[in-house]
Structure 1
Amino acid sequence: MELKIKLEQLNQRVNGLKEQIQTEEATKNAFVMPFIQILGYDVFNPTEVIPEYIADIGTKKGEKVDYLIKKDEEPILIIECKNWKEKADAHNSQLHRYYHVTKARFGVLTNGIIYNFYADLAQPNIMDDKPFLTINLEDLKDSSIKVLQNFTKSEYNLANILDSAEAMKYIKAIRNEFEKEIENPSDEMVRLLVNKFFEKPLTANRMVAFKEYTKRALSISISESISSRLKSALVINENIETGKTNTLGINENIEIPKFITTDEELEAFQIVKAILREIIHSERIAYRDTQSYFGILLDDNNRKPICRFHFGTAKKQIEFFHNGKDSGEKVTLSSLDEIYNYRSELHKTIENYN
């Protein structure tokens, strides 16, 4: 991924220079401006990247946000910078005020190393308290970089960013709550689980005991699940390398799935879903995995194929049906992001069924 390579190179630059950087202004020049350039925006074009953008707040005049980025003459992003020695989640009240008086849908608070992206998912034109996306140059994650790709000048897509922002916001929230429950199960969680098999009243003493049982059960379940997955991966890898089968005493009577739905296939499904949400309700879009392809259907109907993904080989392909359900047309994909290039074909397929 080209974007990831550029970010890794920027991280090397940051690590090599940061001890010599003493001020916020130097942080902006040495770290933040190169980051903006990596996204494809011309930092030397004042109609595209506006430094010290005036964001007057009520009677308070002369307030300035460090950068405002425009695309097609529309403000899309404001960036407030701090010294690299400061925390990137500090002083977000200042960014909050700037966000309110600009038309940009996204705000970034950064120290040149960590970039926290905010939106207004909870209330229109009021910046959320927590970021939906964090880019840490010292700990780059592929999933986050894919979202960041939508912020680049060449691929900026407001709808896709908002879809991703909402998903990431709630996934993060659910994970946080789940991790809390693992560490210290709540009364509600204990009752939810225990009431399914324990018919007696949950007294205070029993609740204390069952809380401990629940904590241990969740911990054991997660540990064994991880261990099982690792063992399976090792077995598959060993058998592929040696060409052997059933060398570890696996019961041959156990039915082994003929196919596994991969994260890549599910990601492709989400991209198609995001594209089609523009014209139909998302609940009408379903998928079915098969041994030979991963199919996406309208109304979960085999007679209404929207597209199919063929990811079983090194060459990834998408099969379209915009010219009729019996005339599939395959196109090779170099990356999943290229699916967005075929919006018209996917829309036409839906129009043919309606």
Structure 2
Amino acid sequence: MFIEAKGYSANLNNHCPQLSRYYNATPEVTVGAITNGREWRFFTDLVNKNIMDSEPFLTIKFDGSPQDASHQLAQFHHDKFQPEALRALAEENIYLNAFKASITTVLRECDADFVKYIAGRANIQRTFTAKFIEGVQPIMKQALAKAISDMVTSSLSTPTPEEPPQIAPVVLIDPAAPTIDPTNSKIITTANERRVLEICQELLPDEDLHGKDTESYFTVLYQGKSNRWMVRYWGDKKRSSVAFCMPLTDAHRIEIKRSKLEIGAGDTIMLDRPEHLLRLTGLLDDALAFSKNDDNFKRGASASAAS
């Protein structure tokens, strides 16, 4: 995370390009922040990977009206800092602000599309011509103002119960969002890691395969046994890579070369996208056979990769 600190009287608009240059030149950085002490702006790269967004996903002004931002600021604390979780927060804030702005505009302008939508929901038996929409637009504005007024009045006049009813929160599930281990906040399973497991299960549909994430790497296990791992995936490095449980043979190296993939240190294989694993079906079959063979796991077996 980069933090650009400016003087108390500085206009942050003049200095955001400087932060952007630092951010764009350092792919390892996920979050950029700029502050003059009175105001904080937080940026990430939701639009283009490794390119800082032009708009902040979170702005906090300490010299303005009070804001309940403590729960958001807490995620930037050193011992809770999780880049993938902050990206999820950024996306949530972007959607929230965009939806709020759109709703405000619709309610204030009461445009033709909104009038047509409400008239349709109200089951008005008329042809929605431009002339009709224009004619009922003032009536729609009155109805909208009265509906909002009635809702506010009803809310204020309703006595507050001693114990408010428990309402289950609405949770929007993003299939691409990372998941955090409830027992260890440092273990964050990304969409790419889940995809690696899905590909292994697709290629070996009748096998008992399980995924297990750690702070360092993601593993695909045979029968859920930690010592019988088949594939290890490192997706949090500058370049993602994968390793198989068995030593690479000459035949394996030929298959990797034909797949247009690179072999890295320690016989890891560069895997820029999880889908590139589909090119290594032969290695995956051999990894399964290696994990199924009990001889590879007997005491004294010369299979260090299985440890």
Match of 1:215 in 2: 141
Match of 1:99 in 2: 23
* 1:266 aligns with one of 154, 160, 169: 169
* 2:152 aligns with one of 226, 250, 256: 226
Conserved 8 A contact 1:100-1:127: yes
User: How far apart are 1:276 and its partner, in Å?
Assistant: 6.4
Unaligned 5+ segments in structure 1 are 1-76, 241-257, 282-354
CA distance in 2, matches of 1:216, 1:89: 40
User: CA RMSD of the aligned region, Å?
Assistant: 3.2
Conserved 8 A contact 1:79-1:109: yes
Q: Does 1:148 align with 2:73?
A: yes
| Greater C-alpha radius of gyration | 2
* 1:161 aligns with one of 86, 94, 119: 86
Match of 2:238 in 1: none
Unaligned 5+ segments in structure 2 are 183-187, 192-307
Conserved 8 A contact 2:112-2:134: no
Q: Residue 266 of structure 1: SS of its match in structure 2?
A: coil
User: How far apart are 1:171 and its partner, in Å?
Assistant: 0.8
Match of 1:184 in 2: 109
CA distance in 1, matches of 2:106, 2:92: 21
CA distance in 1, matches of 2:125, 2:54: 43
User: How far apart are 1:167 and its partner, in Å?
Assistant: 0.9
User: How far apart are 1:79 and its partner, in Å?
Assistant: 2.1
Match of 1:275 in 2: 180
TM-score, normalisation: structure 1: 0.44
Distance change >3 Å, CA 140–CA 159, structure 1 → 2 = farther
Q: After TM superposition, where is structure 1 displaced by more than 4 Å over at least 4 residues in a row?
A: 267-270, 276-281
CA distance in 2, matches of 1:128, 1:151: 18
Distance change >3 Å, CA 213–CA 131, structure 1 → 2 = farther
User: How far apart are 1:91 and its partner, in Å?
Assistant: 4.0
Distance change >3 Å, CA 193–CA 269, structure 1 → 2 = closer
CA distance in 2, matches of 1:201, 1:216: 21
Conserved 8 A contact 1:135-1:145: no
Conserved 8 A contact 2:44-2:56: yes
CA distance in 2, matches of 1:94, 1:236: 50
Q: How big is each residue's C-alpha offset from its partner over 1:67-102, in whole Å with a ceiling of 9 and x where there is no partner? A: xxxxxxxxxx21223433344344423322222112
Conserved 8 A contact 2:179-2:190: no
Q: Which moved more, 1:128-137 or 1:175-184?
A: 128-137
Q: Residue 164 of structure 1: SS of its match in structure 2?
A: helix
CA distance in 1, matches of 2:139, 2:145: 10
Give the total of aligned pairs: 179
Conserved 8 A contact 1:110-1:116: yes
Structure having greater relative contact order (Cα 8 Å, sep ≥ 6): 2
Q: Residue 183 of structure 1: SS of its match in structure 2?
A: helix
CA distance in 1, matches of 2:190, 2:47: 24
User: How far apart are 1:129 and its partner, in Å?
Assistant: 1.9
CA distance in 2, matches of 1:123, 1:269: 23
Q: Which amino acid aligns with 2:2?
A: I
CA distance in 2, matches of 1:122, 1:160: 17
Match of 1:43 in 2: none
CA distance in 2, matches of 1:210, 1:85: 50
CA distance in 1, matches of 2:59, 2:170: 20
Conserved 8 A contact 2:179-2:189: no
Conserved 8 A contact 1:147-1:161: no
Q: Does 1:236 align with 2:160?
A: yes
Q: Residue 150 of structure 1: SS of its match in structure 2?
A: helix
Q: Residue 115 of structure 1: SS of its match in structure 2?
A: strand
CA distance in 2, matches of 1:276, 1:222: 42
Match of 1:118 in 2: 43
Q: Residue 2 of structure 2: SS of its match in structure 1?
A: strand
Q: Which amino acid aligns with 2:139?
A: Y
CA distance in 1, matches of 2:83, 2:136: 47
Q: Does 1:171 align with 2:133?
A: no
Q: Residue 78 of structure 2: SS of its match in structure 1?
A: coil
